[in-house]
Each structure stands twice: as structure tokens, then as C-alpha cells.
Amino acid sequence: MTATARRGFRASHGFTLIEVLAALTIGSAVIIATAALINNVALNFDRRTAVVGRADQLLLAVDRIAADLGAARQLQQSADGGDATAAFNGDATEVKFVTGGAAVAGTRSEEVVSLQVERTDDVSYLVRRRARWRGRQIPFASVLLQDPVRLIEGQVDISFAFASPGPDGTLTWRQTWSGQQLLPRLVRLTIRDRASGADLLPGLQFAVRADAPIDCAQLGASAKCATGDKSEPAKEPTKEPTAAKDTPAGGRG
């Protein structure tokens, strides 16, 4: 076989080194691009899943806080022979009160509940603790709370405020509530994103039903329900059919 024939035989049955290197380069580029695409998809999926998870956690926390404050008890204790004050202490970072608790053996036991803001590094937590309320013979302030549960967590600023109506019916907000004879009418919870400064749930207020009209416990109730202002209903009434509007109350057609 001549040299020309041998070169033609080798060329038709294999790849040159340059062709192999070019194929490896193209394959590597495809693999890297595919891995980057999969990584981006996974990151976006994780982020969206985390956002949905945080939103669900926030809504569950709001339901839990509303249930606790909605079942708050108007109980009083006197310390060192002084005037009796409500078993309710609150400031910007903690609320502690007596609530209806859970049903135990067919009866409903009262509990002392605290909602406390804690912070570790850049992450804030709203932690719920509880203990069984054993009656007025035990000082409210000395009840040892346990069973910590993190209701809210994230890079947010969390604070409480408390409101009661003044002599003219106007709500007055304050940062502390301690040594008062009555419970506050409303408790406001502010959850503010630390990076943007935006409120995650603007206007989030909880009615303390033990000392507020029952309308304040209804969905959509406004702050006016706690002042006793009847000029505007706490909740928008259901619209009646047009034909029923012309019929006087208690009248017959």
C-alpha cells in the first residue's frame, strides 16, 4: 500500500487531535450552560417556595395572636396591698396576659400567654410562651412560662402598641400598658421589613374582646368599634335587595 493510500485510509477511519479537542470544548460549554440553567431554576424555585412558606407562616401567626388576644380575661390582682390592676402587661417588645386557654378534660382552663420579641444577630423572632393560670393566689408577674414557639421570624422589626378610648371616645395609642385597671381595647402589631422599611401587614390590629364591644371581634371591624361610635358600623352590612329597602322595619308588604 502506498503512502498516499495509507493517509487516505487513516483519515476515513478516525478523528484528528484538533477535532477531538474542538468536540470536548463544545461539550464542556454545553454542560456548563446546562448546569447554570438548572442552578438558576432551582434557586428561583427555592426563593418562591420560601416566600410562600413565610407568607403562610405569617398568616398562621396572625390567627394564633388573634385567638389569644380575643380570649383575654379581665382579671385583677393587687400587689403589696395596693390597688387592684389588670393581669395584663405590655410594652413595645412583649405582651403578657391571661387568656381562655385550651379545653382540658371537658373544661376550659385559663392560661398565661406571652408574646415576646427576641433577636439573634440580624434575625428577629416573635416567640409565644404559655403556662397554666392557677388563680389569683399566684402573682401574675411571677408565673413561669414555657413551651416556646416561634410564630414569626425574619429580618424584620416587630413591635406592639396599645390603645384605649379617651373621654371623648378618641383612641389613644401608647407604647406600654402596665398597672392599668382595665385591659386595652386594641393591640397593634407592626411587622416592618428592615431592608425596605415597608410594613408587611399595614394596620394590623387585634381587638381585646374582654373589654371591647363584640363587633370588634368580627372580620373587617374598624378601630371605631372600640370607641363605641355608632355613626359608622364596625362592619359593612350586607346589602338588601332594592325591593326590601322600601318596606319599614317591622312592617308588612
Q: Which residue has the higher pLDDT, 67 or 18?
A: 67
Whether 146 maps to a domain, the answer reads yes
Per-residue pLDDT, 188: 95
Confidence of residue 41 (pLDDT cuts 50, 70, 90): low
Whether 75 maps to a domain, the answer reads yes
Whether 17 maps to a domain, the answer reads no
Whether 23 maps to a domain, the answer reads no
The maximal CA–CA distance of the chain, rounded, in angstroms, is 121
Q: 3-state DSSP call for residue 52?
A: helix
Whether 13 maps to a domain, the answer reads no
Distance CA 128, CA 75 (A): 21
Confidence of residue 47 (pLDDT cuts 50, 70, 90): low
Alpha carbon distances (Å) from 69 to 8, 26, 66, 115, 151 = 90, 65, 5, 10, 15
Distance CA 194, CA 104 (A): 41
Burial 109-123 (b: 16+ CB within 10 A, else e): ebbbbbbbbeeeeee
- Of 3-17, 58-72, 96-110, 216-230, the range with the lowest mean pLDDT is 216-230
Distance CA 134, CA 181 (A): 20
Q: Which among 45-59, 68-82, 126-140, 201-215 has the top mean pLDDT?
A: 126-140
Whether 27 maps to a domain, the answer reads no
Distance CA 179, CA 92 (A): 16
| CA nearest neighbour of 161 among 110, 217, 123, 117 | 117
CB 200 within 8 A of CB 62: no
Check: pTM over 0.85? Answer yes or no: no
Q: Which residues have a Cβ under 8 Å from the Cβ of 147 and sit 6 or more positions away? A: 129, 130
Mean pLDDT, rounded, of the chain: 75
Whether 98 maps to a domain, the answer reads yes
| CA nearest neighbour of 179 among 201, 162, 155, 196 | 162
Q: Which residue has the higher pLDDT, 59 or 44?
A: 59
* Dihedral pair phi/psi, residue 132, rounded to 5°: -70, 135
Alpha carbon distances (Å) from 84 to 40, 89, 106, 111 = 62, 14, 31, 20
- What range defines the domain where residue 160 resides? 52-227
What's the total number of domains in the chain?
Answer: 1
**Beta strands at 94-99 and 123-132: parallel, antiparallel or unpaired:** unpaired
Whether 69 maps to a domain, the answer reads yes
The grid coordinates listed for 239 are: 346589602
**Res. 61: pLDDT tops 50:** yes
Angle 81-89-186 (CA atoms, 0-180°, nearest 5)? 125
